[in-house]
Structure 1
Amino acid sequence: MALHEAGCDLGVTHTVLDDPPAHLMFLSGEAAFFHGGTERLDAAFAHVDAGRDLIVDVADLEYCDAPFLNALLGARTGHRLVIVGPLCASLERRLDVTGTRGFFDIQPTIVAALARLG
């Protein structure tokens, strides 16, 4: 399912996998509070079934702000969360400045993320 709205610069596409049981989400563009990106991300995370792992591919994400990082931190509740990179410079910086890099399992590819969950 793709979620795109006029005036919002965050693209969210996701699919459900059966083996392993996971929700795979692709983010692209800019995840910024002032563009409505955080609300869209929260809505996408709300569609993740309880008990399913969550893989978030941020390779096409160009920018993110602090509320985006908060949304990612919140998404860890009730799910194993794996982030697939490479990470954009703003996400790298936010993870380092806040000391939250260690809170996430960051993998270079979707195949590596699936292996971590399998």
Structure 2
Amino acid sequence: MYYVYELPDILIGTQTTSRKARNVARDPRVTALFDVVGDAPVGALVYGTAELDRHDVLAKRATIFRRYMDDEAADGFARSLADSWEPVIIRVRPDRIVSWDYRKGFPGFPVDA
């Protein structure tokens, strides 16, 4: 799930027909998991309230994609998705965040030095 942190919200791009968007439209209470799987997992579990943001969606999706690819690719990817599906931004306002970082080791979970 691609996202960007725009204080105080987390922006997630999707399509209006996605399960995520339909769930937010039905019930704005959300839980989202953001993690990096590797030798030592790092992540956060976010509890909060979400809303569907339909304002300037193409630019916001391109901003999200720029975290993961260069500017030209991000702009093109945002446009190509919008050509096929109606885009929407899920704006999550965190109420509580639980995070973990096992890079320093954890009993029973060895990390290579």
Query: For this structure pair, what is the TM-score category when the shorter chain's length is used for normalisation?
Result: under 0.3
Higher strand share: 2
Return the index of the structure with the highest Cα Rg: 2
TM-score normalized by the length of structure 2 = 0.23
Q: Which has the higher contact order (CA 8 A, sep 6+)?
A: 2
TM-score, normalised to structure 1, is 0.23
More helix by proportion, 1 or 2? 1
